[in-house]
Amino acid sequence: MVTYLDADLAPTRNTGQIKLYGPEAFEGMRNACALTARCLDELAPIVKPGVPTETIDRFVFEFGMDHGAVPATLNYRGYTRAVCTSINHVVCHGIPDAKPLREGDIVNIDVTYILDGWHGDSSRMYPVGTIKRAAERLLEVTHECLMRGVAAVRPGARTGAIGAAIQSYAEKERCSVVRDFCGHGVGRLFHDAPNILHYGSANEGVEMRPGMIFTIEPMINLGRPHVKVLSDGWTAVTRDRSLSAQYEHTVGVTDDGCEVFTFSPAGLDRPGLPG
């Protein structure tokens, strides 16, 4: 039996109960998420061939410091960087390093800032220079998966409606949905109940209610859905080494749908893609 409770009355840990947030929390999340979105905007001209991902890490760290925010991934469960940078067949949790990005790479940059105690979690794909048509198509399909997931958010529906919308579109486009990672409740905690699956049926999952806040962050592969985690304990890659992409938004459920907290103020939700 799933239970919902007023977030103001809930302990600040994942009890499995679903927190329902009020207007002050929504305002806090708006601010944290806007900062994350601005950082992702500012990264667009920085991501170029020859730039190492540790330069991106440094930028995310300093941009946060300059605006009173701390990157949530720093020292999170042993992770020691300000950001995840996942290149080509890396599905998620890529660790920034000194290796330069190369023309034709696609890289996901996943930023989570903690501002006034609220977590703003979002990621986008960045083409590095000119990319192949197949890679561009994967980015387009993956962004469309995210937006179809967002469009399925409304009170009364189940979270499975999000996964169903994503999976049906991805598979129609002959892509596959990664099963090993999911979206998550977010707020004063980085990762909270409920899990948001990016596959499944509309009658699965929990009922969405106004005040819920969670991420939607589909990982979509050109090849098979299976992943493995490398010996660094973090880097997740496709087993068949096919290209993988991901976009992520943080959303809040409203009385008639949802509010997307992490939209780009500059209209750069899909950097490097037309539209």
Smallest gap, in angstroms, from Cβ of residue 195 to Co ion? 11
| Residue 3: other Cβ atoms inside 10 A | 10
Q: Is 119 known as a binding-site position?
A: no
Identity of the residue, 104 or 110, whose beta carbon is nearer to ligand MF3 in the bound complex: 110
The total number of residues shown for the chain amounts to 275
Residue 93 within binding range of ligand MF3, rule CB under 6 A: yes
Lay out the site mask for Co ion across 72-111 (x = CB under 5 A, - = otherwise): --------------------------------------x-
265 — phi, psi (to 5°)? Answer: -65, -20
CA distances in angstroms from 56 to 7, 86, 128, 155, 165, listed in the order given = 34, 12, 13, 37, 32
Lay out the site mask for Co ion across 176-215 (x = CB under 5 A, - = otherwise): ---------------------------------------x
Per DSSP, the residues of 73-127 read TTTBTTB-SS-EEEETTEEE-PPP-SPBP-TT-EEEEEEEEEETTEEEEEEEEEE
Q: Which does 105 bind (CB under 5 to 8 A by kind): Co ion, ligand MF3, none?
A: none
CA distances in angstroms from 52 to 49, 102, 171, 178, listed in the order given = 9, 9, 33, 27
Q: Is 110 known as a binding-site position?
A: yes
CA of residue 265 relative to chain centroid, distance: 17
The binder of ligand MF3 chosen from 217, 227, 242, 258 (CB under 6 A) = 217
Angle at 90 (CA atoms; ends 13, 265), nearest 5 degrees:
65
Residue 105 within binding range of ligand MF3, rule CB under 6 A: no
The binder of Co ion chosen from 18, 53, 60, 121 (CB under 5 A) = 121
Residues at the contact surface with Co ion, assessed by CB under 5 A: 110, 121, 215, 248
- Binding site for a divalent metal cation: which residues? 110, 121, 184, 217, 248
Residues at the contact surface with ligand MF3, assessed by CB under 6 A: 73, 76-77, 79, 84, 93, 110, 112, 121, 215, 217, 234, 248
